[in-house]
Structure 1
Amino acid sequence: MPPTRRTSAPAASTLTGIAEMASRDAQGVPADLLDGYLEELDGISTTRKSFRPEQLRVRREVGARAAERGISLHGVIDLHLSATWLAWRSLSGVRRATGADAVRAAGEAVFKAADAAVTAIAEGYEEAQRWAVRREESFRREFVDDLLDGRNLGQLAERAERFGLRLAGSTVVAAVRSAQPLVDGGEVARAVETSLNLRPDSRDVLVTTKEGLLVCVAPDTMTDVPDEFVRQVAAALGPDTSWRVGLGRAHPGPGGVVRSFEQARYALDIAERLGLPGRLHKAVDLLVYRVLLRDRAALEDLVSVVLQPLRGARGGAEPLMETLAAYFANGQVAAACARQLHLGVRTVTYRLQRVADLTGYSVDDPAQALSLHVAVLGAKLLDWPASAEDTP
């Protein structure tokens, strides 16, 4: 009488041994990630059925755990495939098979199940990575908002280290405003950040966005970063895009970042209101305009007293205002002013005389010229005469 074939499932010690061999074969990927896989595979070899939904859910969770533990997707898949072929001879369905057809059926079931398991692991792994990226982006966005808004200053220095910033020293902030808002993950932001990251000291530089501005935060000791930032912005935006850069002054500590950022935005606002030439506008060079705006009421009085008569000129105040602005911007040289405005010199001198006739202030008198110059600057800062027209 032939001996009875054993049909019991492999002993736990056998499966544990296989799991350990699979771990070694997969270059040390932890065997605990198999998490019941061999027992389930043994059952499938007998039933010829596939994984149940709850079993595939476990595989997805395994993939997610591997991602969280920093284990590569290749490694966790290698672990499962190694376990599959190492366990093959020990699986109940294979040991019970009495012919080639039975072995083939068991093999098809087992390797289809392995394929499904690997797919589920990859799905879980990729989903965990997506969540990790989104979580990191959320942390970064929250940190950037706190940094540039000046919130939670007591914790900022510690949080900054996570993003490569050291806020113990002084920092400067540059901000770019373009015709199109610049956003996190956008083409321009990515290109500028990637280029600056090629620097050996890039760990100390933060490139981000805030309210449509592209922002660069750097230690004041890295004196070449603002200029490099401007060059990379120019390369990313191209020559046909309208944009400006405001540069704040250096300030110490976490609170210094928000002060420098506010100054960078102020420099942008002043440059746009006054139509200042060039791309880079430094807050330190624009302090005089802050002084002018500090006593807004007095500035409004000066503009009104000196320039109000121009509103009665034929054609309105704008042509005369434009001529005055260009005249002072060109060092009070009528010929240079005429070239900028594409006018004849006689037209410029006529307009300047017309200003003197209407206001009583002549550009030929130094004191009166100073009053005119400050009044013209104040008018631009206050958006005069448009603002006067809006006043009831």
Structure 2
Amino acid sequence: MTDSSRRRGGRRPSAPGPEDGWLVEVAEGASRDAGGVPVELLGDYLPLLADAAAYGRQVKRGELDAVGLLGRRAAEQGISAGRVVQLYLSAARRLWQDLPIVVRSRDREAVRAAATAVLQVVDEAVATLAEGYAVARRDLVRREEALRRELIDDLLRGDSDLGTLVERAEPFGLDLARVHQVALAAPSRRLPDAEAAISALEAVVFDRLGDRDVLVATKDGLLVVLAPADPAAAGRLSSAVDASNELGRLMHRELSRLPRGRPWRVAVGRGHPGLYGIARSYEEAREALAMAGRLDADTPVVNAHDLLIYRVLLRDQPAIVDLVQAVLSPLTQARGGAAPLLDTLDAYFATGTVATESAKRLHVSVRTVTYRLDRVKTLTGYDPADPAHRFTLQAAVLGAKVLNWPQEPLPNPG
């Protein structure tokens, strides 16, 4: 290559001509090296390398943009970034090995100049290729995230067309005929980095349950996990509860490792079959989450099954308000108010009506517990130790917890 040709910027056409059959061989060899990546993804890369070696020509902006588009195309075709980069590097290596056919010079400076020009093209082209690939992957992730969010919204709402949902759910590996359960995770404050939380949950849930019939997304500031429930466990209470506990503990353990969002609270709905079962499980998990916060539950993982009694009570709020008013309102006459007596009743029933265990839970003496129980009997006329009175008292205490009484006034029963 002469100095005058360098100054004039002389070059041959980028598109391979009949004399460029060797470039076709280089492309095919590079494709084999990269595991069969289509040679079309090389575009005009090889002619650009040959031009750089023979004429010292630099790559133009438009030519680099074309390489970036090829990177995007590779991502859209689902080809891994490593294989695409391998295609380009292998093409450069093979072309350099065949360069003596084109650059017939034994001059050391000429070879050094050619190598420098080729390496510069390789550097710029591979960087642009990777950038285009990354942009396409981000776009695909955003698109998938939007589709995932729309799908989870429709699944949890439960009123969408079943046929359409089946088609939309299939790419995510969901079989809507199976038994599913929904779990919700609430951070202590505003949801932290949602992508990090979703990635953390996906990694551990997929590892445990597989990547089919599992969907992780966000909704209304909560993390949502849709997971399969054991269909054989449907109707078998102990197995169903164990499965819910396992999913809840799994989620809480993984989320607690994140730097933000702690302490987390997780609520798990029961497993139900079909599309409408997903919406039902979601409603159960949402109610359980709200109820756990209302009751100030000290457990980080709650199951809808464990709070079924509260759902029953809330279905007829006027009746439960009337029960609390009729049975427990006399406790407000006690010194110190109704709260200490209610706490004692709650601990007494929770420990199987054992005064010594109630005293340990309340951090008071046994004598204090028995005194308070006597005060309840005197003020209300209901004896906590009498089985005939116990159910009424316990239902009223549960109702008071649901209504957050006496901290808040009772709602108007009318």
Report the TM-score, using the length of structure 1 for normalisation.
Answer: 0.81
SS class of match (1:193): helix
> Shift of the alpha carbon at 1:160?
2.2
* Alignment partners' CA distance in 2, 1:20 and 1:151: 58
Counterpart in the other structure of 1:324: 345
Counterpart in the other structure of 2:172: 163
Say if 1:231 and 1:320 are closer, same or farther in 2 by CA, change over 3 A.
closer
Q: 2:132 aligns with which of 103, 124, 131?
A: 124
User: Residue 205 of structure 1 contacts residue 219 of structure 1 at CA under 8 Å; is this kept in 2?
Assistant: no
More divergent stretch after superposition (257-266 vs 23-32):
23-32
> Shift of the alpha carbon at 1:378?
0.8
For the pair 1:354 / 2:363, whether they are aligned, the reply is no
More divergent stretch after superposition (111-120 vs 290-299):
111-120
Counterpart in the other structure of 1:76: 87
Structure 1 gaps of 5+ residues are: 1-6
Counterpart in the other structure of 2:99: 88
Q: How does 1:275-286 map to 2 (within 5 A)?
A: 281-286=302-307
For the pair 1:219 / 2:229, whether they are aligned, the reply is yes
* Alignment partners' CA distance in 2, 1:200 and 1:317: 48
Say if 1:246 and 1:99 are closer, same or farther in 2 by CA, change over 3 A.
closer
> Shift of the alpha carbon at 1:45?
5.1
Any idea what the Cα deviations from partners look like across 1:106-133, whole Å, max 9, x if unmatched? Answer: 4433432233222222222222223223
Counterpart in the other structure of 1:376: 397
Say if 1:20 and 1:364 are closer, same or farther in 2 by CA, change over 3 A.
same
Q: 1:58 aligns with which of 53, 60, 66?
A: 66
SS class of match (1:70): coil
User: Residue 26 of structure 2 contacts residue 95 of structure 2 at CA under 8 Å; is this kept in 1?
Assistant: no
Counterpart in the other structure of 1:186: 196
Letter of the 1:329 partner, please give it: A
* Alignment partners' CA distance in 1, 2:363 and 2:247: 34
Which stretches of structure 1, 4 residues or longer, exceed 6 Å deviation after superposition?
none
SS class of match (2:182): strand
Counterpart in the other structure of 1:172: 181
* Alignment partners' CA distance in 1, 2:334 and 2:47: 95
For the pair 1:291 / 2:315, whether they are aligned, the reply is no
Counterpart in the other structure of 2:41: 33
Letter of the 1:266 partner, please give it: E
> Shift of the alpha carbon at 1:89?
4.6
* Alignment partners' CA distance in 1, 2:298 and 2:54: 81
Letter of the 1:226 partner, please give it: S
Any idea what the Cα deviations from partners look like across 1:206-238, whole Å, max 9, x if unmatched? Answer: 444443245342133275643432442454337
SS class of match (2:353): coil
* Alignment partners' CA distance in 2, 1:145 and 1:26: 43
Letter of the 2:70 partner, please give it: V
User: Residue 321 of structure 2 contacts residue 411 of structure 2 at CA under 8 Å; is this kept in 1?
Assistant: no
SS class of match (1:168): coil
Letter of the 1:193 partner, please give it: E
Say if 1:146 and 1:104 are closer, same or farther in 2 by CA, change over 3 A.
same
Say if 1:8 and 1:317 are closer, same or farther in 2 by CA, change over 3 A.
closer
User: Residue 245 of structure 1 contacts residue 281 of structure 1 at CA under 8 Å; is this kept in 2?
Assistant: yes
Structure 2 gaps of 5+ residues are: 1-9, 234-241
Letter of the 1:169 partner, please give it: R
Counterpart in the other structure of 1:197: 206
More divergent stretch after superposition (375-384 vs 356-365):
356-365
* Alignment partners' CA distance in 2, 1:42 and 1:186: 44
Counterpart in the other structure of 1:146: 154
* Alignment partners' CA distance in 2, 1:149 and 1:221: 22
Say if 1:297 and 1:263 are closer, same or farther in 2 by CA, change over 3 A.
same
User: Residue 309 of structure 1 contacts residue 359 of structure 1 at CA under 8 Å; is this kept in 2?
Assistant: yes
> Shift of the alpha carbon at 1:153?
4.2
How many residues align? The count is 379
> Shift of the alpha carbon at 1:245?
4.3
For the pair 1:21 / 2:29, whether they are aligned, the reply is no
> Shift of the alpha carbon at 1:176?
4.1
More divergent stretch after superposition (38-47 vs 106-115):
38-47
Letter of the 1:175 partner, please give it: L
Letter of the 2:151 partner, please give it: F
Letter of the 2:338 partner, please give it: A
User: Residue 75 of structure 2 contacts residue 133 of structure 2 at CA under 8 Å; is this kept in 1?
Assistant: yes
SS class of match (2:121): helix
> Shift of the alpha carbon at 1:246?
3.3
User: Residue 244 of structure 2 contacts residue 270 of structure 2 at CA under 8 Å; is this kept in 1?
Assistant: no
Quote the RMSD (CA, aligned, Å).
3.5
User: Residue 251 of structure 2 contacts residue 266 of structure 2 at CA under 8 Å; is this kept in 1?
Assistant: no
Counterpart in the other structure of 1:4: none
Letter of the 1:318 partner, please give it: A
Letter of the 2:122 partner, please give it: A
* Alignment partners' CA distance in 2, 1:309 and 1:200: 52
More divergent stretch after superposition (12-21 vs 277-286):
277-286
User: Residue 182 of structure 1 contacts residue 213 of structure 1 at CA under 8 Å; is this kept in 2?
Assistant: no
* Alignment partners' CA distance in 2, 1:246 and 1:190: 19
Any idea what the Cα deviations from partners look like across 1:323-350, whole Å, max 9, x if unmatched? Answer: 2222222233333222221212222222
Say if 1:319 and 1:49 are closer, same or farther in 2 by CA, change over 3 A.
same
